[in-house]
């Protein structure tokens, strides 16, 4: 079963790699972006160059009206929504708890938690057998920080990913008989621009020696895991959170 794959935050890093992977597998990819339209269009072009179908949509995932409008627009595509990858997320920078501003905390929860909940809700309303859907898969992109805690850097970010893990486990049970599987991937240290944009371009090189496998992961390795979870080969897998972390 292919159909539409909605990848939130699909303009860079793990989201871009996932969108490209799914496009090559035959999904019609709709990827969202918050600010960087050019980067999103480059991902679309790469998918099309590989023979796939894709389009990019601007989305503030913290805005319920925008989320609702996006899912309504998906109805104009002559294919069903069969896969949601809840990837959009922000860290709001590195900060110890004692220095954390309320605005940082509010924004990271609005995007990482509220946005993911709203997208999952709308996906269930379209995929579920009880809603006339054909079933489908939801993959929540979490983080190993949810278990490790993010101490000294981003406890606030880690807490949002812990909430996302709870959503994964709870929703998986709630919709299992409605034809929807819900799983998560929990990346560890991945070599993306996330670290530099948060002010620590050296973070990957500094942390890599402490990973049991001795290196940072690649966005494509996370994308491969997402693709497997979405495949028929994982047809009896739901409620799982798969670490993609090199053993950390």
Site of tokens 């972390």: 245
Which residue from 238, 201, 242, 217 is spatially nearest to 17, judged by alpha carbons? 217
How far from the centroid of its chain's Cα atoms is residue 122's Cα?
15
Residue at token pair 């104009």 = 76
Q: Which two tokens stand for residue 164?
A: 């996302």
Query: Judging by DSSP bridges, how do beta strands 180-187 and 81-86 pair with one another?
Result: unpaired
Active-site residue, selected from the candidate residues 27, 33, 129, 157: 157
Whole-number Å distance between alpha carbons of 219 and 160:
21
Calculate the CA 93 to chain-centre distance. Answer: 19
Tell me, yes or no, if 157 is annotated catalytic: yes
Please give the Cα distance from 36 to 39 (Å, whole number). Answer: 6
Return the DSSP state at 154. B
| Active site (catalytic) residues | 157
């Amino acid at each position: 079963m292919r159909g539409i794959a909605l990848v939130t935050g699909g303009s860079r890093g793990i989201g871009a790699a996932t969108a490209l992977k799914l496009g090559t597998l035959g999904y019609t990819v709709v990827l969202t972006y918050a600010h960087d339209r050019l980067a999103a269009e480059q991902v679309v072009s790469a998918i099309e160059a590989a023979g796939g179908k894709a389009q990019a949509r601007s989305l503030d995932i913290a805005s319920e009206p925008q989320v609702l409008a996006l899912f309504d627009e998906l109805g104009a595509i002559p294919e069903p929504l069969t896969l949601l990858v809840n990837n959009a997320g922000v860290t709001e920078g590195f900060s110890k708890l004692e220095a954390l501003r309320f605005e940082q905390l509010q924004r990271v929860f609005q995007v990482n938690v509220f946005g993911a909940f709203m997208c999952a809700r709308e996906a269930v309303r379209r995929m579920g057998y009880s809603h006339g859907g054909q079933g489908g898969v939801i993959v929540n992109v979490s983080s190993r920080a949810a278990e490790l805690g993010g101490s000294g850097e981003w406890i606030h970010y880690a807490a949002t990913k812990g909430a996302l893990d709870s959503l994964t486990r709870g929703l998986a049970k709630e919709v299992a008989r409605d034809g929807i599987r819900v799983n998560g991937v929990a990346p560890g240290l991945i070599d993306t621009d996330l670290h530099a944009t948060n002010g620590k371009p050296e973070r990957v090189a500094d942390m890599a020696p402490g990973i049991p496998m001795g290196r940072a992961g690649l966005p494509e390795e996370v994308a491969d895991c997402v693709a497997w979870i979405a495949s028929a080969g994982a047809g009896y897998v739901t409620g799982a959170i798969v670490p993609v972390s090199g053993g950390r």
